[in-house]
Structure 1
Amino acid sequence: MEHKMNITGKEIIELGFKSAKWFPEAIEFINTNQLSKEEMINYLAQFKVEQIDLLTNPADFKINIKAKNELEDINVNSVVKSMEVLMKTPTIVNGAIMPDACPTGSSGTIPVGGIVVAKNAIHPGMHSADICCSVMLTDFGKADPKQVLDAAHSITHFGPGGRDRNTQFRFPMDLLAEIEASPFLNNQKCISAARSHLGTQGDGNHFLFVGTSKNTGNTMLITHHGSRGFGANLYSSGMKVAEKFRKEISPETLKQNAWIPFETEEGKNYWEALQIIRKWTKLNHEVLHDATLHTIGMQPENRFWNEHNFVFKDGDLFYHAKGATPLDAKFMPDITGPRLIPLNMAEPVLIVEGKTTENNLGFAPHGAGRNVSRTQHRKSKTGTVKDIFREETKGLDIRFFSKEIDITELPSAYKNAATVRNQMDEFGLGEVIDEVIPYGCIMAGDWQKNAPWKNKRRQDKRNRNNGRN
């Protein structure tokens, strides 16, 4: 009688399968039932994954942007070409670009100002590391704008890292329980960031803006920031999971466009983790607004918010908005008012409403966007930093938290605000119902200029040079 050897994972891999979590169960079944080679191949057929090719006919996308000059023409062409590559991704069924669109990476990467609709799939690369970047407005009634800005300045936190233990906000136990119940978020790195980054705004184009309503004259506080390190950690985990699926089911798909199938356990868990990140980010705005109100002894007259960098679900469709403001109420379960579109520190923040159309897919722009990179903009400016700053912020109370001016956040770094507003009208991308006229704002500024590690490097260099003399 012939003695059969037990098979191992090696034999299954030799048959063309990649190591997977179903291996132990399959090996046990094959060995327990002493399957012949033919029987084993027939049994393993159920685990064979059919690879998905790129779309031969790329999905359509709507272009809600027009170039007004040569610089804008270069920008628009780059965005359109990138979208044409992106729309070959097998999960994609629709898309659009907004007037604030600008490229963010290699060809095929979703641009800022892009909306991409996928069927039963979440693409972490399409919401990027700053998950749920969003804006919140609180109406301070007839409060003095300077008093509000001063109070907010004493409370907010810009720059890298988080708050030390002495200045951290109290963390809600119910939210902590949700985080600990999530397979994606229940780790020390995420929990630590969630605690220490609460009440922080980061850097880049994030801001704290104070202005007055054109309609009522009331003072408004508006904050702009995302989920900080808490969201960035989820993004990193999501990209790793999506990459595993990409290698297995669609290796032709670009790495940045890898996806997590929603019908999988990982997909459901990732979607739930995104909702927790959204809840945390909303709280991140609220603690700053509430602390400012408390400092000046006021109650809010109104408050509303919206994210503009997130994934929105409608049935089996997932709308990835990389810098696009949701107009359609179905995208916001806690909608309390109109939406907010900031342009630049010297322009009003637009308060908008609007209806879903075939062109806009239920979205509006999220801001003014850029025509050139920060580096290109910096190189294009002549004169001293202080002179440029004074010229572009005349009449406004503009503050940089690091006390170092960042000229790449001044108005000239962004697209022409009037052009964006005109194209909103032209393409039906929301109706402006009020404007918050700027009084002033706070941003991180060039916090790297005098960063401790840079100062240490400079001192080390001075010490070495002195040693040579």
Structure 2
Amino acid sequence: MNTKITGNHLLELGFRQGKWMKEAIAHINENQLEDEDLNSYLKQFKSPDPIALHAKPVDFSINIKAENEEEEDNVAKVINSMQTLMKTPTLVDGAIMPDACPAGPDGTIPVGGVAVAKNAIHPGMHSADICCSVMLTDFGKADPKAILDAAHASTHFGPGGRDRNIQFRFPKELLNAFESNFFLKDKQMIQIARTHLGTQGDGNHFLFVGTSKKTGHTMMVTHHGSRGPGARLYDKGMKVAERFRKDLSPETKKQNAWIPYDTEEGQSYWDALQIIRDWTKKNHEVLHDAVAQSLEIDIENRYWNEHNFVFKDGDLFYHAKGATPLDAKFMPDITGPRLIPLNMSEPVLIVEGNTTSTNLGFAPHGAGRNVSRTQHRKSKTGTIMQIFKEETKGIDARFFSKEIDITELPSAYKNAQTVRNQMEEYGLGKVIDEVMPYGCIMAGDWQKNAPWRIKRDKKRQRNKR
């Protein structure tokens, strides 16, 4: 009589633990499989041979050049990181934009990078700020100051979400979509999606008001992503991708792990990304609509685009980490041209453009940085207020936390004209209008007076007594 097969037997034979084991063990024992019959049946469960890295980097387009010594170091780091990245087995093409800057250890897709994968979604290549995007609303001849004041009263910057009494309504269709998706249906995810609706976060996210160079109309532009829901989806996606990496390609760097699209997990993750995209678009809309409602004014026009997302074209997945899609095929709800902000004292560029073999259908997403926030902070002299007044002369620049963050002032970013020149040189979109700056709102240094910091400082003072 045959020895009863157990999970331990299969593990000893080199098979990996999985949901398949229970059904396979039952089948083997019921049919008393052994020897050749057993081996033949188990072949279907054998892990495939590991997928090796590309022997050399896949070619990618370099739409950037250094114009001074500081930029040389930045560009070299970006190119080196892309060369390592492009050894990832799924990748077939790539590009870097004029605003590119490093975003992590060697082999991490840089900000301003595009990586094209075949039948694979790489969560690390869209990062935690899924669907970081910009929306423009044209308020016609409205007073720019009135728009900025109304926006300041209704927006929300900083950590966390809105208090219950100032939350926006969470649309039923979005709630149904969250509840129907494996990655999004947990209660905490949905609660965060409710409270974070109508919030802008921190960092380089902003609310900008200006006037069209072409029409003189007052326009409001918001820049932010998917906040807590997107960050939670990213974490879940990275865990799933890591499981696949261990099985499929252990040599691949952890930050470049992928979820095969033709798996149940891949389909569900792709659907989750589209739902998060819808949520993020609504996250912009509620803030723009609130301004129109509070001032009782009409909206003349509106359009938006993401610049931190994954775009699908057949079996190819374009991972844009800080790159603006020019090609209409990437945006099913396209309603106008694209938006490229530079810094608070520069115009927001309104652009359109064609796909080429070197831009892959993308343009820059902004001005980017040549140095880190820490390096920039160390390079400045004078008081914070002196620096602020000098760099924001002529514009109504506000920080929501009432604490100035000098790492978000214009000098923290690459030279805007350099980016524009390289856009033209490399065929990365044509500027058709500009939103000339009136003023903006950013989070500011919200950590300076954060509750945890105040509590810590009080404790230190007590301990000194």
TM-score, scaled to structure 2: 0.99
Q: Deviations over 1:84-124 (max 9, x none)?
A: 00000000000000000000100000000000000000000
1:84 alignment partner AA: Q
Query: Which region of structure 1 is more displaced relative to structure 2, 16-25 or 192-201?
Result: 16-25
- Give the equivalent residue in structure 2 for 1:43: 41
Give 1:57 shift: 3.1
- Give the equivalent residue in structure 1 for 2:10: 12
1:40 alignment partner AA: L
The secondary structure found in structure 2 opposite 1:83 is helix
2:441 alignment partner AA: I
Identical-residue share of aligned pairs (%)? 73
- Give the equivalent residue in structure 1 for 2:325: 326
Give 1:58 shift: 2.2
Aligned residues of 1:189 and 1:233 also touching (Cα < 8 A): no
Give 1:16 shift: 1.2
Query: Which region of structure 1 is more displaced relative to structure 2, 102-111 or 11-20?
Result: 11-20
Q: Deviations over 1:152-183 (max 9, x none)?
A: 00000000000011110011111100100000
The secondary structure found in structure 2 opposite 1:97 is strand
- Give the equivalent residue in structure 1 for 2:380: 381
Give 1:8 shift: 1.4
Aligned residues of 1:13 and 1:19 also touching (Cα < 8 A): yes
1:369 alignment partner AA: G
Measure the CA separation in 2 of the matches of 1:286 and 1:309: 18
The secondary structure found in structure 1 opposite 2:73 is helix
Measure the CA separation in 1 of the matches of 2:74 and 2:35: 58
Aligned residues of 1:205 and 1:443 also touching (Cα < 8 A): yes
Measure the CA separation in 1 of the matches of 2:38 and 2:383: 75
1:401 alignment partner AA: F
Give 1:37 shift: 3.7
Measure the CA separation in 1 of the matches of 2:322 and 2:161: 24
Give 1:31 shift: 1.0
Give 1:42 shift: 2.0
1:223 alignment partner AA: T
Measure the CA separation in 2 of the matches of 1:112 and 1:21: 38
Give 1:32 shift: 1.0
Q: Structure 1: which 4+ aligned runs deviate by more than 6 Å? A: none
Query: Which region of structure 1 is more displaced relative to structure 2, 44-53 or 376-385?
Result: 44-53
Q: Does 1:34 align with 2:1?
A: no
Q: Deviations over 1:18-75 (max 9, x none)?
A: 1122111111111111111442222111122221110113211000000001110000
Q: Does 1:129 align with 2:128?
A: yes
Could you say what the CA RMSD is over the residues aligned between the two structures, in angstroms?
Answer: 0.7
Measure the CA separation in 2 of the matches of 1:405 and 1:52: 49
Measure the CA separation in 2 of the matches of 1:25 and 1:101: 50
- Give the equivalent residue in structure 1 for 2:206: 207
Give 1:133 shift: 0.1
Query: Which region of structure 1 is more displaced relative to structure 2, 29-38 or 208-217?
Result: 29-38
Measure the CA separation in 2 of the matches of 1:445 and 1:134: 19
Measure the CA separation in 2 of the matches of 1:168 and 1:397: 27
The secondary structure found in structure 2 opposite 1:366 is coil
TM-score, scaled to structure 1: 0.98
Q: How does 1:426-445 map to 2 (within 5 A)?
A: 426-445=425-444
The secondary structure found in structure 1 opposite 2:108 is coil
Measure the CA separation in 1 of the matches of 2:57 and 2:46: 27
Query: Which region of structure 1 is more displaced relative to structure 2, 37-46 or 304-313?
Result: 37-46
- Give the equivalent residue in structure 2 for 1:186: 185
1:41 alignment partner AA: N
Q: Does 1:23 align with 2:21?
A: yes
Measure the CA separation in 2 of the matches of 1:28 and 1:59: 46
Give 1:14 shift: 1.2
Measure the CA separation in 1 of the matches of 2:30 and 2:323: 55
- Give the equivalent residue in structure 1 for 2:353: 354
**Alignment gaps of 5+ in structure 1:** none
Q: How many residue pairs were aligned?
A: 464
